[in-house]
C-alpha cells in the first residue's frame, strides 16, 4: 500500500481487524521512510460491476458515488455516517449477489429508494425527487400521497 504522504510503496501493517460493520478489514499502517501512520479499509469485491445508464452508456460502478448521493439525501437529517456506510454496503452486497456483472442505474436507484424509505422519509422524498426527475409540485404531491397511503394504520413511535 502506498504511503499517502511520501508515496513510498513499502508500508508496514501494524494492526488488522474487521471494521465495525464487518464489511471491510481495517488496517493501521506505518511508513518506514517518513514515519507517517494511516488507516486503510480493504473490502472484498466479489465481482466487477458495470452500471448501464439510461442513456445506454456503460460506466464502472462507483461505491463512493453511491455513498455521496445517499449522503446528499440524508444531509441535515438524523442519520449517522455509520448508517450510511451500512446502507451502501448492503446495497453493494445485494448487487454482487445478483450474479450479473452489469446492472441498470434504475435497479440501483430502486434499491436505494426501498432502503431510504425505511430509514428516513424526508431523505426518501429528496432522493426520489432527483432519481425520478420531478419537474412539477404535483410530482411531490403524488409521492407524498403514496407515502401517506402506505402508512395509514401504521403506528408511529
Q: Give residue 45's pLDDT.
A: 59
Please check whether residues 112 and 59 belong to one and the same domain. yes
Q: Give residue 156's pLDDT.
A: 46
* Residues spanned by the domain of 30: 12-42
What's the rounded Cα separation, in Å, for the pair 54 and 151?
Answer: 31
Q: Give residue 67's pLDDT.
A: 94
Please check whether residues 34 and 56 belong to one and the same domain. no
The DSSP string of 24-47 is SEEEEEE-TTT--EEEEEE---SS
Does residue 3 belong to any structural domain of this protein? Answer: no
Does residue 144 belong to any structural domain of this protein? Answer: yes
Q: 95, 108 in Cβ contact below 8 A?
A: yes
Please check whether residues 32 and 104 belong to one and the same domain. no
Q: Give residue 133's pLDDT.
A: 77
Please check whether residues 68 and 115 belong to one and the same domain. yes
Please check whether residues 143 and 71 belong to one and the same domain. yes
Q: Give residue 29's pLDDT.
A: 96
Please check whether residues 38 and 54 belong to one and the same domain. no
Q: Give residue 44's pLDDT.
A: 67
Q: Give residue 16's pLDDT.
A: 92
pTM of the entire predicted model: 0.64
Does residue 97 belong to any structural domain of this protein? Answer: yes
Please check whether residues 27 and 59 belong to one and the same domain. no
**In total, how many domains does the chain have?**
2
Please check whether residues 32 and 98 belong to one and the same domain. no
Q: Would the CA dihedral through 94, 96, 99, 105 be positive or negative?
A: positive
Q: Which candidate, 31, 32, 48, places its Cα nearest to that of 40? A: 31
92 CB contacts (<8 Å, ≥6 apart)?
61, 63, 66
Per-residue pLDDT tens over the stretch 63-79:
999 999 999 999 999 99
Please check whether residues 56 and 16 belong to one and the same domain. no
Please check whether residues 31 and 62 belong to one and the same domain. no
Q: Give residue 60's pLDDT.
A: 93
Q: Give residue 157's pLDDT.
A: 46
Q: Which candidate, 37, 55, 153, 146, places its Cα nearest to that of 104? A: 55
What residue ranges of the chain have pLDDT lower than 70? 44-47, 151-157
Does residue 102 belong to any structural domain of this protein? Answer: yes
Please check whether residues 27 and 84 belong to one and the same domain. no
Please check whether residues 17 and 84 belong to one and the same domain. no
Amino acid at each position: 500500500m502506498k504511503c499517502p504522504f511520501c508515496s513510498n510503496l513499502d508500508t508496514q501493517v501494524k494492526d488488522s481487524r474487521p471494521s465495525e460493520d464487518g464489511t471491510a478489514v481495517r488496517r493501521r499502517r506505518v511508513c518506514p521512510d517518513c514515519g507517517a501512520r494511516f488507516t486503510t479499509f480493504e473490502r472484498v469485491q466479489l465481482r466487477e460491476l458495470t452500471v448501464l445508464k439510461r442513456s445506454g452508456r456503460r460506466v464502472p460502478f462507483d461505491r463512493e458515488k453511491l455513498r455521496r448521493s445517499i449522503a446528499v439525501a440524508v444531509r441535515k437529517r438524523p442519520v449517522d455516517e455509520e448508517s450510511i456506510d451500512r446502507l451502501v454496503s448492503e446495497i453493494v452486497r445485494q448487487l454482487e449477489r445478483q450474479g450479473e456483472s452489469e446492472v441498470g442505474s434504475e435497479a440501483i436507484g430502486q434499491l436505494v429508494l426501498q432502503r431510504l424509505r425505511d430509514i428516513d422519509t424526508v431523505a426518501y422524498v429528496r432522493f426520489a425527487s432527483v432519481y425520478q426527475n420531478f419537474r412539477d409540485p404535483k410530482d411531490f404531491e403524488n409521492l407524498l400521497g403514496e407515502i401517506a397511503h402506505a402508512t395509514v394504520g401504521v403506528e408511529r413511535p
